[in-house]
Structure 1
Amino acid sequence: MTEAFVSGLDDQTRHKMIDLLNERLADMVALTLAVKQAHWNLKGPGFIGVHELLDDVADRMRESADLMAERAVIMGGHAKGTAEEASAKTTIEPYPLELVDIDGHISALTDRFKKTGALVREAIEKASDAGDADTEDLFTEVSRTLDKDAWFIGSNAKV
C-alpha cells in the first residue's frame, strides 16, 4: 500500500474497495480489448457504422477503466490494469478470435456488456454496503456508460 488520499474510510474498507476496483478494472480491460478485436475484424452490411461506433465505445471504456484505476491509487493501492493481470483475473468469457460476421460480433459484445454491467451493479451495492459513497458513485457512472454502449451496439442487430 502507498499513501492514501481519502478521508473518512478505515483501512479495511479501503483495502476492500481497492480489491473491488481492481476486479472490475480487469473486466474493463478485457472488454475493451474485445471491443477492439471486433472493431478490427468485423465484416458485413453496416460495417462502417459499427466499426466507427466501436472506436468511440473503446474510448469511453478506457475512460471508465481510468476512473477505476485512479480511484484505487487515490485510496492507497495500486492499479492492476496490465493485459496480463486482466487475462488472469477477468470474469469475462474470452472473445472469439476468428469471428468476422458483424451480427456475431454484435451478439458477442452485447452479451459481454450485459455481464460486465451486472458485475458493476454488484460493485455499486458492495461499495454502498461498505459506506464508500465516492466509489459507489464511480461505479454508477461506469454502469450508465456500459448500459448505453450495450444499447448502441445491440441496436445494430438485425430485428
Structure 2
Amino acid sequence: MRERFASGIDDSTAQEMVKLLNANLANVIDLTLDGKQCHWNLQGVGFIGVHQLLDETAERIREVSDMIAERIVILGGEPNGLASRVAKDSILDDYPTNITNVEDHVVELTSRYKKVASTLREAIEAAGEAGDEDTADLFTEASRIVDKDAWFIGANAPQKK
C-alpha cells in the first residue's frame, strides 16, 4: 500500500476499506456508463427532459466516483477504475441495448440506481462496524446522491394505476 494520509486507522482496517471502496467504485463507474448508454439511445415522449436530466445525474455520479477514489488514496490504496475491472467487478448486468423508449429506459435505469444505492447502504454499515466513520460518512453522502437521482429519474416513469 502507498502512504496513508488518514491517521487513527490501522493498516488492516485501511486495507479492508480500500477493498470496500474499490468494489463500490466499480459499481458507481458502471452506473455512470449505464446512464450515458441510456442518454444516447432514448427516444419518445419526454425525451428532451430525460436527456438533459441524465447529463446532470452523470455529472453527480462522476463526483461520487471521484470522492470514492480520493478516499482510497487517502487510505493508502490505489483506485482501480479500469474498464476491465469495472466489467469484472460491478454488481450490475450489462445494460440492455435493445430498448429505445423513454419509459423503458427510465424504469431500467431507476432499478440500477436503486441496486447501487442498496450496496452503498451496506457499505455504510460495514465501514461503521470497522470503525472508519469517515468512510461511512462518504458512503452516506454517496447514498443520498444516488437515492435522490433515482427519485429524479424514476419520477419520469409511467404512473401505476
TM (norm. structure 1) is 0.99
Q: What is the Cα-based RMSD across aligned positions, in Å?
A: 0.6
Query: 1:72 & 1:54 partners in 2: Cα distance?
Result: 27
Aligned to 2:138: 138
Letter in 2 for 1:80: N
Aligned to 2:37: 37
Aligned to 1:59: 59
Are 1:83 and 2:92 counterparts?
Answer: no
- Listed as ranges, the gaps of 5+ residues in structure 2 are none
Instruction: Kindly tell me the number of residue pairs found equivalent between the two proteins.
Output: 159
Query: 2:149 & 2:126 partners in 1: Cα distance?
Result: 23
Map of 1:112-131 to 2, 5 A cutoff? 112-131=112-131
Query: 1:82 & 1:97 partners in 2: Cα distance?
Result: 22
Deviations 1:125-158 (A, max 9, x none): 0000000010000000000000000000000011
Deviates more, 1:94-103 or 1:11-20: 94-103
Aligned to 1:19: 19
Are 1:7 and 2:13 counterparts?
Answer: no
| TM-superposed deviation, 1:40 | 0.4
TM (norm. structure 2) is 0.97
| TM-superposed deviation, 1:98 | 2.2
Aligned to 1:72: 72
Report runs of 4+ in structure 1 exceeding 6 Å deviation: none
Q: Note if contact 1:93-1:112 (Cα within 8 Å) is conserved in structure 2.
A: no
Identity rate of aligned residues, in percent?
Answer: 52
